[in-house]
Amino acid sequence: MNLRGILPFSHDLLTRIILPGDTVIDATVGNGHDTTFLANLVGVNGHVFGFDIQQEAIDTTTELLTEKRVANQVTLLCENHAKMTELLPNQTIKAAIFNLGYLPGGDKTITTLADSTIKAIEGALSMLTIGGIVILVIYHGHPEGQTEKSAVLNYAEALPQEQFHVLEYRFINQRNNPPFVIAIEKRKTKPVSAN
């Protein structure tokens, strides 16, 4: 297939903007694959902050980061991503990624929730540097995922175009509610001219 899949597409976007030394957030560490990917992009002089509410996810991610020898540039927090601005005050970031839904291979009754996800997206956008990107990978093949999908789309569509570029990337002919990406880039706002 010549078209990029959902995860490769999101990783391509991150690779284009994240430089060694940058600070980024993995808002849903899950099994640690995105966290490890981000840790490699920021390098030894950068930093990744990773959030997950499940200790199982934190433990699995810690093992993977240690195995890949990138644990030193990562701080994992067993906390709700909605608390990111509270836990990381005055922090600026180049990028954040969210994989919404439940922990792959974990308890499917524990999912990300619309209200806390919207609060977390707002937090990430407030921390984002100009030209930075927040990526939302939306898995909506479960009841809470449908609710969250609607809330996230409504929120993203209402973002002012003067401040943000918002992109949706999805395959529209696949069965079983395939995941899709929303990417939000923070724009440089033009100063208002005095007349």
pLDDT tens digits along 31-79: 999 999 999 999 999 999 999 999 999 999 999 999 999 999 999 999 9
What domains are defined for the chain? 6-186 (3.40.50.150)
Residue 190 has a pLDDT of 66
Instruction: Please give the structure tokens belonging to residue 50.
Output: 């990773």
Cα dihedral 68/129/11/22 (nearest 10): -20
Tell me: the pLDDT tens digits for 136-187? 998 776 667 678 888 899 999 999 999 999 999 988 888 887 788 999 999 9
Residue 195 has a pLDDT of 55
Report whether 114 contacts 147 (CB < 8 A): yes
CA dist 170 to 3, 18, 124, 173, Å? 11, 23, 22, 9
